[in-house]
Amino acid sequence: MIMAHKRHGSNHHEMELASGKLHLFANEEVFQSFGVKVYEMANNNLQIPRNQYMSYTPDAHVGIGTCIGTTAVWNMKDGCVSPSIVGSDIGCGMRVHTTPLHKRDIQDKEIRRALIAAIEKYVPTNERTNTNYEDIDVMSVVQNGLKGLPAKYVPDEQWLSHVEQSNFAYDHSYLKNLPPKIMKYARGQLGTLGSGNHFIEIQYLEIQAEYADLAAKWGLFDGQVVVMIHSGSRSWGGMVGREHNKVIKEAMNHWGVSNPDPNLIYAPITSQEGQTYLNLMYSALNFAVSNRHMIAFGVREAFQELFGADMEMPVLYDLMHNYALKEFHRNQPMLVHRKGATRALPPGHFLNTQVYKETGHPALIPGSMGTSSYIMVGKDEGLKNFYSICHGAGRARSRKATKELVTVDQFEQSLKVGTEDEILVNHRSLETILDECPQAYKDVDQIIDSVVGASLAAVVARCKPMAAIKGI
């Protein structure tokens, strides 16, 4: 499978596969852990015509059609778009809000339990429960993103400016290609968490000394309580993916195009099928950023209920890690796919949102339940990977295998159950979320070490978990 292997400095591997070159960013321990299947999937992906670049971040692991942890790039003028290299949860991403609280303010377990209860009051965590935001027009949101929300749900302008993108513009006429039932399923889902690896986590910060000045510019301080949110586009994105996967697969059959993996689908960007998917994908990105916004709005309501109406929770940043976006690289427009990969732009880069133009934006990297998460900043050297870094720890084993290999007792130890530093969760039985235990994931510290060692990004703060809310 691997025809040649070159090293380009620390933690940067170039693998010559039968169908093209794969760049892989990982330290030695992580690099040795990759199995043959991830290379097979890369080789399949590289058979898509006119690929300009493809890479894996250290959290890469087997997905459907494409590995999670993939960055893949095509020219806009003659390239391809692949729903498989976007992922099923279009627009899935991260959001962090800061608070004026210090760790000691919520150290007491009863305070944290009260916070969990209050958050569940405002943010549905059951897949079968909808929100009651009946005054939100879903169509306005999918067309206009955050600008489609009623003003009362936007606490201040900062909630619109501190995001990767508040509105993804596209041709709204493409919405006619969606089945009418999509409104039925999407209505009431804005502000809902979803299940699986999605979460709301209450954390405190450990600022890295060498980046203390940058942290201060971002409004961060040592011991500060922050809230990290991970969610996506819910049923809107899911239905966009399902409907147009079928459309593109039928088109591929009509064109006589095949691939060793039937789950890998793609179309020329300029084709009708490609344009339809891209435009509808942007509608899902609008839904996703609005969904995280409304989850955060509910979390803010919960904190105000406990700590007073004057409690404010500014947005640090909101970003995606499942999408395909037109970006300018090498003096030309390119379609950059990131599936389980986070954009980390360095200080001064023109693609930074205005408020982070000078410093570079916060890159938000979650760990797993019971482990640290990270706030990072991109470096200039990230250009070599189209400014992509990891999106988390990355699964080490399947949900089924985790349930077979890990015990509830081991999970409890990871969460420090019974100690003063116990990481509280919203589930009475850990058995119900055993497949999300830390043992299901790679060592996030090794993942971060790989990224830092490759000079793609630097750590500004480590986020230590105090309480976690998971959906069911």
**Active centre residues (catalytic):** 391
The CA distances from residue 450 to 38, 68, 156, 422, in Å, are 18, 16, 37, 29
Q: Which residues contact 401 (CB under 8 A, 6 or more apart)?
A: none
Calpha distance 134→294 (Å, rounded):
13
**Amino acid (one-letter) located at 74:** W
Q: Tokens 């530093």 label which residue?
A: 421
Q: Which residues contact 146 (CB under 8 A, 6 or more apart)?
A: 154, 159, 160, 163, 166, 167, 289, 290, 293
List the structure tokens of 299: 């979390």
Q: Which residues contact 57 (CB under 8 A, 6 or more apart)?
A: 25, 69, 71, 340, 341, 385, 388, 389, 390, 391, 447, 450, 451
Q: Which residues contact 49 (CB under 8 A, 6 or more apart)?
A: 80
Q: How many CB atoms lie within 10 A of CB 326?
A: 11
Closest CA to 312 of 293, 295, 292, 297: 297
The CA distances from residue 326 to 45, 73, 275, 279, 397, in Å, are 19, 10, 13, 12, 33
53 neighbors 291 (Cβ within 8 angstroms): no
Q: Which residues contact 16 (CB under 8 A, 6 or more apart)?
A: 2, 3, 4, 5, 6
Q: How many CB atoms lie within 10 A of CB 272?
A: 11
Q: Tokens 């909101």 label which residue?
A: 318
324 neighbors 281 (Cβ within 8 angstroms): yes
Q: Is 160 exposed, middle or buried (CB count within 10 Å of its CB: 0-12, 13-18, 19+)?
A: middle
302 neighbors 119 (Cβ within 8 angstroms): yes
252 neighbors 277 (Cβ within 8 angstroms): no
Closest CA to 103 of 470, 465, 469: 465
